[in-house]
Amino acid sequence: MDIVINESLKAYIDPLTPEEHAALEASLLAEGCRDALILWGDVLVDGHNRYGICKQHGLPFQTVQNKRFKTLDDVHLWMIDQHLGRRSVSDFQRGVLALRKREILAERRARAEAERAAQADAEAAAANAEAAGEAGDAPPWSDDATFKAPPLDSRQALAKAARLSNSQVGMIETIHKQAAPEVVAAVKSGAISINAAAAVATLPEDEQRAAALAGGAELKQAAKRVRESKRKPREAKPEVEIEEEASPAKFVANADESEELQALRQRVAELSAENEALRLEVVGLRVALGRD
C-alpha cells in the first residue's frame, strides 16, 4: 500500500523541535520502529515523523487501520486526545488543542441538531403523504463515542481536559483570539511565558509585531508595561482626627494604622498631658514656698 501524506493532518499538530526530532531518530536507529503507524484508509494519521525517518534510513515499520474514523472530525478529535495525553506537549499546546476540541464538538453538535430537525420534518412530511419510508438516515456518527463526549463549554471543563488551571486557559484563549502570529510563535518557542503573551495580546496588532520583531526582551518589557498600566493608582488615604478627652491636645492618625499603634499614640498623649499637669503643679508649689 502506498501511504498518502495529507499535509493538513501533518501540520495539525505542532512539529517536533530539531532536538526532539534528533532524539527520535536516534531511538529509531537504535531500537527500530516499535509502534505501528495509524492509518485512515491509505492516509497517514499518526506517525509522520517516524514514517519520514524510517523511509530515510530504510527501516521497517508496521501500520494499523483505525476503523472508528468516519469523518475528518473523528480524525482530528483522535489526534487531539492522543497529544493531550503526551508529557512532551507544552502547556500552551495543550490549551490550544483543548480549544480546538471544543470548537469541533460545538460544530458537530450544531450540525447534528440541524440534521435531526431536518430529518424530523422530512419524516413528518412523509407520514402525512403515507411515505414514511422515504425519510433519510440518521447521521452516520450519531452513536459514535466521540460525539457523546461531554461538551467543553466551560473554562473548568477546558482546564480539566488540558490539565491546566482556569487562569491558564483564560490566558491561552486571549492569545488564541487576539495575539499576532509573531507573538504566538514567541510563546511556542518559549521566548516568553503564557502570562506575558496574554498581556501583549491586548495591544494593537502593529505594536505586538513591533515588540516581537525586537526580540524576547522587548516582548517582556511590553508585557510589563501593559500590567503596570492596568494597575489602579493608590487612592490617598483619608486622615482621621482623634480628640482626646484627657487633654485638649489633638493628633492626626492615618486611617489604616493598626489599633495597637493608635493605642500607643493615645497613651503618649495622655502621659504628655499628665506631665504638663505635674509641671504646672511644681511651679505652683515653688511660688507658694517663695511667698512663705
- Phi-psi region at 189: left, alpha or beta (left = phi > 0; alpha = psi -120 to 50): alpha
State the pLDDT at residue 137: 42
Q: Which residues of the chain have pLDDT under 70?
A: 125-151, 232-260, 263, 283-284, 287-292
> Which three cell numbers, joined as nine digits, stand for 205?
496588532
pLDDT for 143 equals 44
Polymer length in residues for the chain? 292
How confident is the model at residue 271, as a pLDDT?
A: 78
How many angstroms separate the CA atoms of 82 and 234, rounded? 49
By the 10 Å C-beta count (0-12 exposed, 13-18 middle, 19+ buried), 67 is classed as exposed
Contact 84, 161 (CB under 8 A): yes
pTM more than 0.95:
no
So what's the pLDDT on residue 226?
Answer: 92
pLDDT of residue 270: 78
